[in-house]
Structure 1
Amino acid sequence: MDNPLSSPPNYRTLSEQLQNHVQESELNLRESEERYHKMIEEVQDYAILLLDIDGNIQNWNRGAQKIKGYTEKEIVGRNFRVFYLDSDREDQLPERLINEAYTTGRATHEGWRLRSDGTTFWGSVVITGLHDADNNIIGFSKVTRDLTERKLAEDQIQEYARSIELRNKQLEEYAYIASHDLQEPLRKIQVFAEMLHNNLDDKEAALRHLDRISASAKRMSQLIKDVLKYSQVSVTEELFEDVCLNQVFEGIKEDFDLLILEKGVTIKTKGLGTVKGIPIQIHQLFNNLMGNAIKFCSQTPLIKVSAQPLSAFMAAQYPELRQEHNYTIITFKDNGQGFDPQYADQVFKMFKRLTNNAGTGIGLALCKKIVEHHGGHISVVSQPGVGTTFTIILPVD
């Protein structure tokens, strides 16, 4: 009886089996690679590229053509720098991304990219280093996604947020106007109404008081109209117009005429022209300064307001000013109580008061805000018992 263990092995059968297994593995590998390349080629939501070590494009899928606009024939062989804006190329952004991917294995970035027709899209980019068996970089994969719709939606949300913030600030200003700027005309109406009541038998005096009440009411009405106009315009640039400072001060003197008469205030103006500004805010600015000057006046109060063109030499001393504009420099000087010079920077801070006099402490903070909103500059110098001088720089064009 033959022993099966002693039978010679069938090497031909084993070889055929091994060869069949290798062929089957190679077939499966080719099919897997074909499916992978087919998948890459067919993807339309992502631009998937292979780059050589220098960033030259080696392949092109449908997503790349859809997002960037180039055909495979037009783009293969060109450097991926072609997708970047001129400013990004000057800043060497493509090279920096390649270097980062070479050094760390991966680089990501979001920004505006160029299509073949010159239009732009917001691209999210991931560049990954490709390594050989010895872990040497042999090229890069680059995946780009078009996120323009998301970017535009985010920008819109930010614009809404800025608009809401602006509206909130405007509401603060409206509240201040209602509680401060409108108080003086209202007080005059109340005073002259009482005087009218006490002089009903004196027709001439009664008519005079009625005229003053009517003038104060018109003044209040104009202020309210200006506030409403300010609140209804979303783009503040539309509110800027030529504002005659002489007219502004005539209106302010009319607002304070009772206090001016009561305290014997002398007001002198010189050289006041026009500025480019928002009328209601320019009124607020000088109304606050006038109110402070009268409130802290001396025994013989004197207020001097003068203006002159700001020279180019002087303008250069204020880096926040735009050199292409012309400006006027306005000096608002009183001989009132004054304050210690060390507090000059603090007077413009919100809710900061240097005395125990009644007040909210936001008037001068609002003055600074208004001047800055107009692209100007405001500063103050003062001496106790001597007086205070505000220097205001505003654009005239």
Structure 2
Amino acid sequence: MITILCVDDEPDMEMLVMQQFRKQIRSKEYAFIFASHGQEALEKLAEHSDIKIVLSDINMPEMDGLTFLSKLKENNITELKTIMVSAYSDMDNIRTAMNRGAFDFITKPINFDDMDITIKKTLSEIEVYANFRHDREKLIAIQKDLAIAYEIQQSMLPKKENPFPERKEFSLHGLLQPAKSVGGDLYDYMLLSANRLFFLIGDVSDKGVPAALFMAITRTLFKTHFDNYPNADLKEQIIHINNILARDNPSFMFVTVFACILDIDTGLVEYVDCGHEQPLILRKATQEVEVLKKKDGGLPICLTEDFPYFSSTFQLNPGDSIVLYTDGLEDAHDVDNVRFTIEPSKQLLKYALINEEPTKVNTELLKNVNSYIGDANQFDDITLLTLKYHGKQ
């Protein structure tokens, strides 16, 4: 039921309104409250918080309609829709009323059919505004939830520039820049023993909140398994994690992973490639950027149970680095929708960053791709994990 406040000093107005709108009143579509001037109208508004529309004459004793409109604004009563009533010849005051915030007007002598149409039009506007406000509040709530989700997701990822300051044999750094409030990329690292370092990077097939949830599950599984079984075989661990994720996957999501274990004493890296991008190896001796040769058969995790993942190795020599990245780096697009590719990053690494520490490598690579993206929307999450091997000290 819509409550309407009718403000008019003519004594027969109440009777006419109640007669003309008797059907709507009887069906509880409308309810009317009456006041004879602006001051009384303000008092009625204070008593009845459910009033949605005000029908107000302009020329009234004690407080006229224009002053009443000003008082509504002073008291910050802005959600009401006010329809002003005056003689057709009183256009100057009607214009003033509209400039002071009136929604619409009708002229005297009152045509009650026109009044009904005007009320319905006003109610339609009220409904549009109410829906807008509801949607806005939902959007604000979603944005708050996403902000919290972003903080939670970021807190799950290691962010220290030098996470193992006591270890001089290596240094590493990771960063993640999501395309949306939250994303599906992940990285992690942990010491499994005094001479074994585990590190990985991953990319969930989707984006946004679903990908972020899948990312959290995947990272938790990796962290739990390698924490609990630090001496277990790398490929067997990944086979086990794949089976857990693939067993119940109604959304058919998957995650590409590149997982490694560094032998800190020798620089030998054992890795399992689960359909991920080819890492870049920065060779100190030759000052070249080497693309790790891709092995066949590394399906992304969660596509099928019991997939026979296998491990391979490559050698890091003192001064060498390895750069792991997700496809957001090479698939970035500029405002003309031209793909960035991996070549600019390889050139930057070779000529400016090949001897630098991981933190600088990552920040400069990210700065370079962000400069290329410019005013375009970021296409995908961008994640970098760089490890530099210093060798035995």
Fold match, TM over 0.5? no
| Larger relative contact order (CA 8 Å, sep ≥ 6) | 2
Query: Whose strand fraction is larger, Structure 1's or Structure 2's?
Result: 2
Kindly name which structure, 1 or 2, has the bigger radius of gyration based on alpha carbons: 1
TM-score, scaled to structure 2 = 0.27
TM-score, scaled to structure 1 = 0.27
Query: Whose helix fraction is larger, Structure 1's or Structure 2's?
Result: 1
